[in-house]
Amino acid sequence: MSLDIVILAAGQGTRMRSALPKVLHPVAGNSMLGHVIHSARQLQPQGIHVVIGHGAELVRERLAADDLNFVLQDKQLGTGHAVAQAIPAVTADTVLVLYGDVPLIEVETLQRLLAKVSDQQLGLLTVDLDDPTGYGRIVRDGQGQVTAIVEHKDASDAQKAIKEGNTGILAMPAARLSDWMGRLSNNNAQGEYYLTDVIAMAVADGLVVATEQPHDAMEVQGANDRRQLSELERHYQLREGRRLMALGVTLRDPARFDVRGEVTVGRDVLIDVNVILEGKVVIEDDVQIGPNCVIKNSTLRKGAVVKANSHLEGAVLGEGSDAGPFARLRPGSVLEAKAHVGNFVELKNAHLGEGAKVGHLTYLGDAEVGARTNIGAGTITCNYDGANKFKTVLGEDVFIGSNNSLVAPVEIKDGATTAAGSTINQTIEEKQLGVARARQRNIDGWKRPEKIKKS
């Protein structure tokens, strides 16, 4: 079977009350349309055709990719009209229709649906609903065979009593499609070209309509307003939390945990409350993450510990290393095994060798720090002169006293020491002590200034 996927994404989404096209609103850090495209790709179709209309330029710009064919629907004349715009680009033998505002649909559900399609059969995804108001109703004959879909606004009272609703997701043999599309009319309550009319046409042509249901109704839930968007968000997060717990992660509270990207985890990982994981995050065995941490595009190796209120982006924490509380690790921060970063420390493009320690109130930018080197509180690298950045290189077993300014480019070699309060801008050779501060003077009989009396 070869497959083309058509994703409808032209609608306006008035109820979002937003300048942003509806399908670009995010769920778990990715646009709703982005989620649908991600699922579509996993089915390895030969084409993905995205029908755009409202905010077309922005949608195209945000999601452009080589494997996507954007099709413009100038006027939104209905779901049937939308699919028809993509038909000229279809080359496969099966067409699957998805929706840019129905982001949680699962690949496994779609695979079950596609298994039903042949040149004699359509696959229709339906859902049983307590309140099917607004949904197209699935009409079946005495033998239980689907014969038609009737839209809510066109339904009789008897049809309105049907609880089986149309999700809109549908897989069809492509050979018949242009014929059916050509026969659609807009002679109905909404004056729209309904994709759902294809069902009765297929039945009239002697085809069978086979149905499948999603495991979870949230898979087929669309978001028309921000309240529904938040429901999709929470559902997504709970699903992701359960997936990670099943793999060996303890989440202190799955309701206070957010993933906005792709996370891989090992076993016996502990994640405290209010942790946000963004982008690509790799967490190995025995890692512990304290409360209120944001971790983006980072790797935490076996046994690494991130303490409360830390912010990591583009960082690598080696085995048994630790950072925080209140650590800020910016892109290019690398901690080798057992390195230690304490509170109020900022690293940017800085490499800490094995067992190196940066305990308190420090900024290291563009720095190379050798194994076991210890950096005293309040030390900063002066890595930027306002125009260019320069490197600070510290060897192994270096001891930097408190409150040093390391003016780059500068090198401090193995085993060297610096005195507290030094401003270091020249090379210190191995095992030397560098002292670069004014000598202390004590002045006898010093008179403190007195307050000037106002007349």
Catalytic residue among 35, 49, 152, 360: 360
Q: Closest approach of Cβ 3 to ligand UD1, in Å?
A: 20
Token digits of residue 201:
């046409």
- Residue 318 touches ligand UD1, criterion: CB under 6 A: no
Nearer to ligand UD1, 195 or 275 (CB): 195
Least Å distance, CB 110 to ligand UD1, is: 16
Q: Give the whole-angstrom CA distance, residue 206 versus residue 153.
A: 27
Closer to ligand UD1 by Cβ: residue 129 or 420 = 129
**Nearest of 344, 406, 403 to residue 369 by alpha carbon:** 406
Burial class (CB in 10 A: 0-12, 13-18, 19+), 351: buried
> Among the candidate windows 9-17, 236-244, 294-302, 414-422, which touches ligand UD1 by CB under 6 A?
9-17
Q: Which is nearer to ligand UD1, 196 or 343 (CB)?
A: 196
Give yes or no for a contact between 356 and 336, defined as CB atoms under 8 angstroms apart.
Answer: yes
- d(C-alpha 373, C-alpha 394), whole Å: 8
Q: Based on the shown chain and the rule CB under 6 A, indicate whether residue 312 belongs to the binding site for ligand UD1.
A: no
Stretch of residues binding ligand UD1 (CB under 6 A), selected from 188-196, 255-263, 307-315, 430-438: 188-196
For tokens 């982005």, name the residue.
Answer: 34
Q: What is the footprint of ligand UD1 within residues 106-145 (CB under 6 A)?
A: 135-136
- Rule CB under 6 A: say whether 10 interacts with ligand UD1: yes
| DSSP letters for 381-431 | EE-B-SS-B--EEE-TT-EEPTT-EEESSEEE-TT-EE-TT-EE-S-B-TT
Rounded to a whole number of angstroms, the distance between the first and last alpha carbons of the chain is: 99
Task: Give 104's DSSP letter.
Answer: T
Number of C-beta neighbours around residue 421 at 10 A:
16
- Binding of residue 164 to ligand UD1 (CB under 6 A): no
Is 448 exposed, middle or buried, given 0-12, 13-18 or 19+ CB atoms closer than 10 A?
Answer: exposed
**From CA 76, how far away is CA 81, in angstroms rounded?**
8
Contact segment (CB under 6 A) with ligand UD1 among 38-46, 69-77, 326-334, 424-432 equals 69-77
Phi/psi for 445 (5° steps) reads 60, 25
**360 is a catalytic site residue:** yes
Nearer to ligand UD1, 196 or 310 (CB): 196
Token pair 């000229």 is at which residue? 88
Residues in the chain: 455
If binding is defined by CB under 6 A, does position 151 make contact with ligand UD1? yes
User: Which of 34, 123, 222, 241 contacts ligand UD1 by CB under 6 A?
Assistant: 222
| Site membership for ligand UD1, residue 79 (CB under 6 A) | yes
Is 149 one of the binding residues for ligand UD1 (CB under 6 A)? yes
Q: Among residues 99, 180, 236, 363, which is the contact residue for ligand UD1, using CB under 6 A?
A: 99
Q: Does 180 bind ligand UD1 (CB under 6 A)?
A: no
Smaller CB separation from ligand UD1, 169 or 339: 169
| 118/429 Cα distance (integer angstroms) | 78
Neighbours of 44 (CB within 10 A): 8
Q: Which is nearer to ligand UD1, 80 or 318 (CB)?
A: 80
Region near ligand UD1 per CB under 6 A, out of 76-84, 203-211, 308-316, 424-432: 76-84
Binding residues vs ligand UD1 (CB under 6 A)? 8-11, 51, 73, 76-79, 81-82, 99-101, 135-136, 149, 151, 165-168, 194-196, 222
Positions marked active-site: 360
